[in-house]
Chain A
Amino acid sequence: MAARRSPDELVVALTGQPNCGKSTLFNAVAGFRVDTGNFAGTTVSYAETALRFEGRDIRLIDLPGIYSISSFDPAERVARDFLLSGEVDVVVNVVDASILSRSLELTLQLIEMKIPMVLCLNMMDEAQHKGVLIDLERLATLAGVPARSTVAVLGTGIDAVFAAATKMSRTAYQPRDPCYDRDVEDCIAGILARYPEALRQALPVPERFVTLRLLEMDQEFERRASQVDAEFVRSVQQDRRRLATLHGWPESGVLASHRHALVLDLYEQVATHHRGAIAGMREKIDRIITNPVGGLLTVVLSLLLTFSLAFFLGDLVAKLVDQPFAALRTAIQALPPSLAVALLSGLVEGVVAGAGIVLPYLVPLLLLLAVYEDAGLLPRIAFMVDGLLHRVGLHGKSVVPLSLGFGCNVPAIMATRNLENPRDRLITMLVIPFVTCSARSVVILALAGKYLGGMTAAALYLFGLGVAMAVSFAVSRSKQHKALGLIMEVPPLRRPYPTIVMKKVWLRLREFIVVAWPVILVSSVLLSAASYVGIDRPVNAALSPLTTTVLRLPEVTGIALFLGVFRKELALVMLATALGTTEFDLVLSQSQILVLVIFTMLYIPCIATLAALFKEGGLKTCFTSAALNFGVAVLLAGAVAQVARFFA
């Protein structure tokens, strides 16, 4: 995270529950100037931006969406620790006004942290449609924090939030602690009276906050406090048990139950209900989408639309992208061969390859996904296919990363961030490289489609999907399951807004451009240089046991397969060079072409995907993935080659 630019720069953190429109608000303010990163030592990501508001420098940080500030979810832990670190001057708590009574739960917990705070009631329009009227002033008075209303998708009310935040930083913040039941308050007072000085020193956060965390059975706070004063923690545990027996609640839920009551009371004082007008149309559409027949039809249609857009439109655009470069290519080839020319040609190929994947295949996929996401379609698709995906060890939330994988595996790996459970995330990350990306589709179409027929190409595509599912099944069996079980919000269907969709597409596209494209460029240049120097012979010889014995392919395919690791579609180009012809059926038998396609589809993720795996999952994940893919590829392609022997 960037350091403060000046001593009076204001650090503002946006926090709120998932789907509250927090990131929409952030993007509305940040425009296209966004930095993203991970919190040190974690996979929890944040976005930040710098802006000037009324002459004041502000650094705005978008924290991950959290439902509460307990310790069992990594995102919640990280967001909470960051808020308590003292780096934040003002926290803006964004809440979905249309579900205020639930959103206030987090608000109360944040107030207890005693960080200067502004309450931002987003989606006020939605609340009104639902027939809920909220008295902002009364809410501000009762909660003891300034409250403003916004409609982030339209950009309204945002200035007022920042005005309140900057004002907040100038005035002394005197929060009023939410007041619990008499029994609870007595208990808290008793604990605070004997709060150890050593703990005060060791944990520089408000004592009442620590006390409440301990009463809520927060494992991490218990651990931290026990290290300082185990006796004190034991006494708090006794108090907690006493409260639990007194109220007849489970020990872990006793404080939460009191907070629910507090929130409900607060909500009833600030909200009035009228008859909502919203239900009609949306409810009807929703009923169709979540109905087994209509739902599966929606899933199939949306997938079909995505793929046809990516492949038919994409193919068209790919040709358009390729054309201007064709002349450049011919010009370069006409130059007398030298290392410089080889490097130049490598660079051009890298640019073309990047543009050839990004513009035609990735942009349409990202665009539709953003539309589906903003419309609220994705959670519904997840709901429909969750049961199916469960049978192969995945679950509904993996739908997004997996479908992105058909475009390019790199953004797909990045999208696994939405899976909070490390196990699910790992399985999804290991399965993605088996999803046939657009670069490998090119290989399938050009080899299998041309020489083995369209049906075979389609069958190979399905075969790839089957392998991915089988791998998922096998990997999930080997990983012990101790997940919490899926519980996920299904936000209402909403109209997507073009500007917000475009910003989302750009942010994701930028990830690809920053991570994958440089790798493609560098490997392309290296590749060109290597083939100029003539490394093909030793590589062919070294790979010969694999290529000739196991896969029963000509030895010269070795270099093509080796270079294909850098870029999958390159295997095709290099194959033509190695074999000295683009009419592959002259030198390869049909079964050899089949083996070649299967092997290229499955073996080792391309280098950009490996880079993404390394960045998101670490070295071990990266190696596991490479080994897994290579093993499966050798096994399946080898089996086909050996069986084909008997029919030859």
Chain B
Amino acid sequence: MTLLDLSEDEVVEIRSLPADANMARRMSSLGLFAGRRIRFVKAAPFAGPLLVEDQATGARLMIARAMAGEVEVTRGRTPKP
């Protein structure tokens, strides 16, 4: 399941970031990384980006669809490594 498969207000946990190292690094420096819980706020019109909220900080980010499709998420909590 990726970020694209969520419905509004759903809270999920990030499992893995995109394979592209630079993309992953950019996301991770913005607070999105494996284990982080985020809420899918809503999607922009005209197939625009997604708005997500980092549950730890309340910070909101908009993510392009192409990027969001590569972020694997899960509904349940994964045990901490």
Contact = CB atoms under 8 A, between A and B. Distances in A.
Q: Say whether chain A's binding surface is mostly helix, strand, loop, or mixed.
A: helix
A586 B21 CA distance: 67
A2 interface: no
Given A382-B62, A390-B48, A257 B34 contact: yes
B33 interface: yes
Interface stretch (A85-93, A99-107, A342-350, A539-547): A99-107
A490 B58 contact: no
B62 A386 contact: yes
Interface residues of B, number: 40
B48 A387 contact: yes
B54 interface: yes
B22 A72 contact: yes
Contacts of A383: 44, 48-49, 51, 62
Interface stretch (A248-256, A566-574, A624-632): A248-256
A70 B48 contact: no
Interface size on A, as a range, is 35 or more
B31 A296 contact: no
A490 B24 contact: no
A295 interface: yes
Contacts of B58: 98-99, 130, 492
A259 to B, nearest CB: 9
Contact of A488 (B35, B56, B62): B62
Contacts of A388: 46, 48
A256 B63 contact: no
A99 to B, nearest CB: 4
Nearest to B50: A383
Contact of A387 (B23, B35, B47): B47
Given A252-B21, A253-B33, A290-B41, A489 B28 contact: no
A72 B58 CA distance: 27
B29 A248 contact: no
Interface string B9-38: 000000011011111111111110111000
B67 interface: yes
A263 B23 CA distance: 21
A321 B5 CA distance: 57
Nearest to B18: A485
Contacts of A295: 44-45
A215 to B, nearest CB: 13
A486 interface: yes
B59 A489 contact: yes
Given A67-B26, A260-B28, A487 B21 contact: no
Contact of A384 (B28, B34, B44): B44
A205 to B, nearest CB: 20
A68 B22 contact: no
A102 B59 contact: yes
Given A256-B25, A292-B45, A487 B59 contact: no
Interface in A232-270: 247-253, 256-257, 260, 264
A488 B59 CA distance: 11
A527 B1 CA distance: 65
Contacts of B33: 253, 256-257, 260
A217 B30 contact: no
Contacts of A384: 44-45, 48
A396 interface: yes
Interface in A483-503: 484-492
Contacts of B23: 484-485
B61 to A, nearest CB: 6
B59 to A, nearest CB: 5
A72 B25 contact: yes
A72 B64 CA distance: 19
B40 to A, nearest CB: 13
Given A72-B22, A102-B54, A487-B62, A67 B42 contact: no
Given A256-B25, A387-B48, A485 B64 contact: yes
A485 B62 CA distance: 11
A99 B60 CA distance: 10
Contact of B61 (A98, A249, A487): A487
Contacts of A387: 44-49
A488 B58 CA distance: 14
A249 B29 CA distance: 16
A379 interface: yes
B44 A490 contact: no
B49 A102 contact: no
Given A68-B25, A102-B54, A390-B48, A487 B63 contact: yes
A73 B27 CA distance: 13
Given A68-B25, A290-B51, A295-B45, A248 B57 contact: no
Interface in A86-144: 98-102, 105-106, 130
A72 B47 CA distance: 28
B45 A490 contact: no
A72 B21 CA distance: 10
Nearest to A291: B42
Interface in A479-538: 484-492
Contacts of B34: 249, 253, 257
A112 B12 CA distance: 33
Contact of A484 (B16, B22, B44, B45): B22
Contact of B56 (A67, A70, A101, A386): A101
B81 interface: yes
Contacts of B47: 387, 390
Contacts of A396: 48-49, 62
A251 B25 CA distance: 11
Contacts of B28: 253, 256, 260
B29 A105 contact: yes
Given A252-B21, A253-B17, 11 more contacts: A67-B26, A106-B29, A253-B34, A257-B33, A260-B33, A384-B45, A485-B63, A485-B64, A486-B63, A487-B61, A490-B62
Interface of A: 67-68, 70, 72-73, 98-102, 105-106, 130, 217, 247-253, 256-257, 260, 264, 290-292, 295-296, 379, 382-388, 390-391, 395-396, 484-492
12 contacts: A68-B25, A98-B58, A102-B30, A102-B31, A102-B54, A106-B29, A253-B17, A295-B45, A485-B66, A487-B26, A487-B61, A488-B61
Interface of B: 16-17, 19-31, 33-35, 41-42, 44-49, 51, 54, 56-64, 66-67, 81
Nearest 10 pairs of A and B residues by beta carbon: A387-B48, A387-B46, A252-B21, A68-B29, A485-B67, A67-B29, A102-B31, A99-B57, A486-B64, A490-B60
